[in-house]
């Protein structure tokens, strides 16, 4: 039997996020809901036995990195240790590939499917994004429809939250200066490669 999970809510530039951890690994995150209770319920839906606690170790480091990212710093969240063991193999492959997409860049559902060796599985990639247990750490907000439009976003706040995070990251498609979100231009620049 695995150890019980712990969780906490923490303030960021986009509101109070949540994080849950167990045995030194992040097991769930939540983007801001309508209020703190909604954010906590989102975490507890996956981990009903989790108990609120002060973050330590990997959880404390993850909170610091998420805050810095949402403050506009180009940090690498792929260094945060996560437990995706309960996810099916295909989803774990997709999540691993997505964690390699750097801050300020985006990828399409179809491109992720091809990278995973499953061309034509864009819809399955979209379903995996909807089940992502650690949004922002596995940056599902960086996945767009092939048209450059937002596609969906099942985290609290929906596409508006996705839009805000991509604006903070100053995201752009390779070589393009703007993204389209449901016919609304997202006028952000594509960062220069280092």
Please provide the DSSP assignment of 139-189 as one string: -GGGEE-TTSS-----STTHHHHHHHHHHHTT-B-TT-S-EEETTEEE--P
User: Buried b / exposed e across 42-61, counting CB within 10 Å, b at 16+?
Assistant: bbbeebeebeeeebeebbee
Whether 140 is catalytic is: yes
Give the whole-angstrom CA distance, residue 108 versus residue 87. Answer: 21
Which class for 89: exposed (0-12), middle (13-18), buried (19 or more C-beta within 10 A)? exposed
Q: Which of 20, 112, 140, 168 is catalytic?
A: 140
Give the whole-angstrom CA distance, residue 17 versus residue 132. Answer: 15
Q: Is 22 helix (H, G, I), strand (E, B) or coil?
A: strand
Residues 6 or more apart whose Cβ sits within 8 Å of residue 95: 84, 87, 128, 132, 138
The residues carrying an active-site annotation are 140
């Amino acid at each position: 039997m695995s150890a019980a999970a712990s969780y906490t809510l923490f303030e960021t530039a986009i509101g109070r996020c949540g994080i849950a951890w167990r045995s030194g690994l992040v097991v769930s995150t939540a983007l801001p809901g309508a209020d703190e209770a909604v954010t906590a319920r989102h975490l507890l839906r996956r981990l009903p036995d989790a108990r609120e606690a002060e973050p330590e170790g990997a959880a404390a480091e993850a909170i610091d990195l998420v805050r810095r990212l949402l403050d506009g710093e180009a940090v690498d969240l792929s260094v945060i240790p996560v437990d995706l063991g309960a996810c099916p193999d295909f989803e774990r492959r997709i999540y691993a590939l997505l964690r390699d997409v750097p801050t300020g860049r985006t990828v399409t559902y179809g491109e992720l499917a091809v990278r995973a060796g499953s061309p034509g599985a864009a819809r399955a990639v979209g379903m995996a994004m909807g089940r992502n247990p650690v949004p922002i750490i596995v940056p599902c907000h960086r996945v767009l429809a092939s048209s450059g439009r937002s596609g969906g976003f099942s985290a609290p706040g929906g596409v508006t939250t996705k839009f805000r995070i991509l604006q903070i990251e100053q995201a752009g498609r390779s070589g393009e200066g703007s993204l389209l979100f449901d016919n609304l231009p997202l006028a952000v620049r594509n960062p220069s490669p280092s």
